């Protein structure tokens, strides 16, 4: 999926109103009928039809017919447009640049931010990888009115930003959080390569303990990364790692916390053995709460990304198997050990038709995901 900078420049304010009307309308309509679009955009008469067909031509919306009427829905490019417009109004994104990565369920761009500084734009695209699975589970997703890819992608971006913020504030080596809107996160550009692309390090033992210490330090703050592996650890020139990619983070109070913790630890052990021939008898073991010093999970919940949001996203991730970590998702990444930067290069338009209309956002009650409820436990 491309980010169309031109569309940003050439859209009239009425086109924008129509696009926004469709976004708002889709909260209550699977596909939004023209009279509703006219009503929400306050554009009467034939005018609205002209804007609609314009937006269809630009592939920002698509028309669809159900048993009763023809209507319209946002597709990813339209949602991208709305997010970019908001971010550029806020001044956090000033131009759209090059795509540098395509992840499991995201596109990564380097763009200009405030003061021409380069920042990273991560566009969450839930439903892309797992669209087929989601389709099979239509019944589950039909229980709510919002289009699942839009809602879930937004939740995922909200979660990533909330965690990045709280980790950054507590001095963890993560990118600087800049801004977030809809399904897009803006963050500092880290000048580093993923560990995946590194063939040699000076002292593997030292890096190994730095990474294990990081896993333990996260746990002491009540958190487990959940996808702690060579794809999500960027190694800077000075040898210090930076951790990225937070949509799957879980609390140490999660019922499967021990499993996720051990999986993170095992990822690093396996990688160090295979890549650097390094093995150690020392590795951290999960100990619940015993030595917890902070509850950042609770802070995140207090920051606006609620336990309910967390539960919804998690349920989706479980449904579509998206909580499988990247190292395990061997069908997506080239799984041979050869170091190649190919997987980080944008390779075509494969996502352009991935616009699941399945439903998401089933109400799942918060449960005990984030453990205790004292938000001031720091």
* Residues with catalytic roles: 227
Q: Measure the CA–CA gap between 226 and 155, rounded to whole angstroms.
A: 17
Residues 166-185 close enough to bind Mg ion by CB under 5 A: none
In angstroms, the Cα distances linking 144 to 44, 72, 346, 361 are 30, 18, 33, 6
Residue closer to ligand ADP by CB (options 15, 105) is 105
Residue closer to ligand ADP by CB (options 253, 317) is 317
Tell me how far, at minimum, the Cβ of 204 lies from Mg ion, in Å.
22
Tell me how far, at minimum, the Cβ of 73 lies from Mg ion, in Å.
28
In angstroms, the Cα distances linking 171 to 23, 29, 218, 353 are 37, 43, 11, 40
How far from the centroid of its chain's Cα atoms is residue 26's Cα? 21
Q: Is there binding between residue 245 and Mg ion (CB under 5 A)?
A: yes
Contact (Cβ atoms closer than 8 angstroms) between residue 222 and residue 297? yes
The structure tokens listed for 247 are: 């949509």
Q: Is there binding between residue 232 and Mg ion (CB under 5 A)?
A: yes
Q: What is the dihedral of CA 132, 133, 135, 137, to 10 degrees?
A: 170
Q: Measure the CA–CA gap between 325 and 260, rounded to whole angstroms.
A: 10
Tell me how far, at minimum, the Cβ of 134 lies from ligand ADP, in Å.
17
* Closest to 172 (Cα-Cα) out of 210, 205, 227: 210
Q: Which of the choices ligand ADP, Mg ion, none does residue 275 contact, using the CB cut-off of 5 to 8 A by kind?
A: none
Q: Which of the choices Mg ion, ligand ADP, none does residue 119 contact, using the CB cut-off of 5 to 8 A by kind?
A: none
Residue closer to ligand ADP by CB (options 103, 222) is 103
Residues 282-341 close enough to bind Mg ion by CB under 5 A: none
Residues 91-150 close enough to bind Mg ion by CB under 5 A: 103
Tell me how far, at minimum, the Cβ of 247 lies from ligand ADP, in Å.
6
Residue closer to Mg ion by CB (options 103, 360) is 103
Q: Is there binding between residue 160 and Mg ion (CB under 5 A)?
A: no
Q: Which residue ranges make up the site for Mg ion (CB under 5 A)?
A: 103, 231-232, 245
């Amino acid at each position: 999926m491309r980010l169309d900078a031109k569309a940003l420049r050439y859209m009239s304010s009425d086109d924008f109103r129509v696009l926004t009307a469709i976004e708002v309308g889709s909260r209550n309509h699977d596909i939004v009928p023209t009279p509703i679009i006219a009503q929400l955009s306050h554009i009467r008469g034939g005018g609205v039809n002209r804007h609609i067909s314009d937006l269809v031509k630009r592939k920002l919306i698509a028309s669809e017919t159900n048993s009763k009427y023809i209507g319209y829905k946002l597709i990813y490019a339209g949602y991208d447009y709305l997010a970019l417009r908001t971010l550029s109004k806020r001044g956090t994104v000033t131009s759209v640049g090059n795509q540098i990565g395509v992840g499991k369920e995201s596109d990564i761009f380097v763009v200009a931010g405030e003061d021409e500084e380069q920042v990273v734009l991560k566009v969450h695209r839930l439903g892309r990888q797992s669209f087929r699975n989601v389709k099979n589970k239509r019944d589950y997703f039909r229980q709510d009115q919002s289009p699942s890819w839009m809602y879930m992608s937004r939740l995922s971006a909200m979660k990533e930003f909330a965690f990045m913020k709280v980790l950054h504030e507590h001095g963890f080596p993560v990118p600087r959080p800049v801004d977030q809107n809809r399904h897009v996160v803006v963050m500092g550009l880290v000048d580093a390569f993923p560990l995946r692309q590194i063939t040699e390090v000076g002292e593997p033992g030292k890096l190994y303990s730095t990474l294990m210490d990081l896993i333990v330090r996260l746990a002491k703050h009540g958190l487990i990364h959940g996808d702690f592996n060579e794809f999500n650890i960027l190694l800077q020139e000075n040898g210090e790692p930076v951790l990225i990619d937070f949509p799957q983070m879980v609390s140490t109070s999660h019922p499967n916390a021990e499993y996720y913790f051990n999986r993170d630890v095992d990822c690093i052990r396996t990688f160090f053995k295979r890549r650097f021939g390094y093995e150690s008898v020392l590795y951290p073991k999960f100990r619940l709460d015993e030595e917890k010093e902070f509850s950042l999970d609770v802070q995140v919940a207090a920051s606006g990304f609620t336990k309910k949001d967390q539960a919804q996203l998690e349920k989706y991730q479980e449904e579509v198997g998206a909580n499988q970590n990247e190292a395990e998702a061997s069908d997506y990444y080239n799984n041979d050990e050869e170091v190649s930067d190919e997987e980080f290069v944008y390779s075509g338009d494969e996502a352009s038709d991935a616009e699941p209309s399945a439903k998401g956002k089933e109400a799942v009650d918060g449960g005990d995901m984030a453990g205790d409820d004292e938000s001031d436990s720091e």
